[in-house]
Amino acid sequence: MSAVNDTGAVLARRWTSLAPRERLMVGAMGGALVFLIVWMIAVRPAWRMLEQAPVQRALADVQLLQMAAIANEARQLRAMPQVASRQAEQVLKSATERLGAKAKLAIQGERATLSLTGATGEDLRQWLTEARGGARARPVEAALTRAGQGYNGTLVVAIGSSQ
């Protein structure tokens, strides 16, 4: 504690030994330093947040519209009547045939397993769209890995009355 008191006493003596003009300059520099610290800690981060707010709000609005579109699509799909198992199987087989050698379909009861080898993301998206819309199938399990330009793995969908 005495070191702090000694330092304070030394600074007080130093201050009194300064000329009035020098005191004014030191005070101005101290004020500028305080202003800089307040600016860096409090004002600048808030200012940046205000500048970024319109962009972040626009992004949130876009995401909200996308989510609303997805929710609307889900409501429409739920409202559609169920498809008979035979018809669902035909739709899935037809969609799988369009993928050619990239895919194989195995149907067991109310589940269908799609095995993929080198299928692109677009191939997978089209198959899922057709399966969901035409067969009312819903994905229940996916084990896919990225391999080069495509995906390898399996996708299991539920068909029939298990929805």
Residue-wise pLDDT for 76-114, tens only, equals: 877 878 888 888 899 999 999 999 999 999 999 899 999
Residue 138 is predicted with a pLDDT of: 87
pTM greater than 0.85 (yes/no): no
CA distances from 133 to 14, 28, 58, 125 (A): 84, 73, 31, 12
Residue 82 is predicted with a pLDDT of: 80
Task: Count Cβ atoms below 10 Å from residue 52 Cβ, excluding itself.
Answer: 10
Q: Read off the pLDDT band of 57 (50, 70, 90).
A: very high
Gap between the terminal Cα atoms of the chain: 76
Q: Where are the beta strands (DSSP E) in 18-137?
A: 103-108, 111-119
Residue 163 is predicted with a pLDDT of: 41
- For residues 82 and 161, is the Cβ–Cβ distance under 8 A? yes
